[in-house]
Amino acid sequence: MQKKLIAASAAALALSAGANAQEVVKIGYVGPLSGQSAHLGTDTGNGAQMAVDDLNAKGFKINGKAVKFVLLSEDDAGEPKQATSAAQKLVDSKVNGVIGH
């Protein structure tokens, strides 16, 4: 279920971001990869990576053009201040969409 949701979200985000003009679609993931809730963030991040890997293995296309999804992960450690910094890093990396906050 999670893979289907991520795939649908990634496709929608890519389309809205004009993925038909690019070959790489950057998807950001933000979660607690360290700290007290790291086990939750790591599991969710691994699920997101599996979904991206599945899409890439299937040769996913948007508007007939082959695209490659790349997952960029950032750690928020479950801390609001670090979450702001993580979100800004993804914005600076020009991701097409974000899984997480």
pLDDT digits (tens, 9 = 90+) for 51-89: 999 999 998 888 889 999 999 999 999 999 999 999 999
pTM: 0.74
Of 19, 86, 13, the C-alpha closest to 5 is 13
The span from the CA of 98 to the CA of 89, in Å, is 12
Q: How confident is the model at residue 19 (pLDDT cuts 50, 70, 90)?
A: very low
What is the third-level CATH fold of 2-99?
A: Rossmann fold (3.40.50)
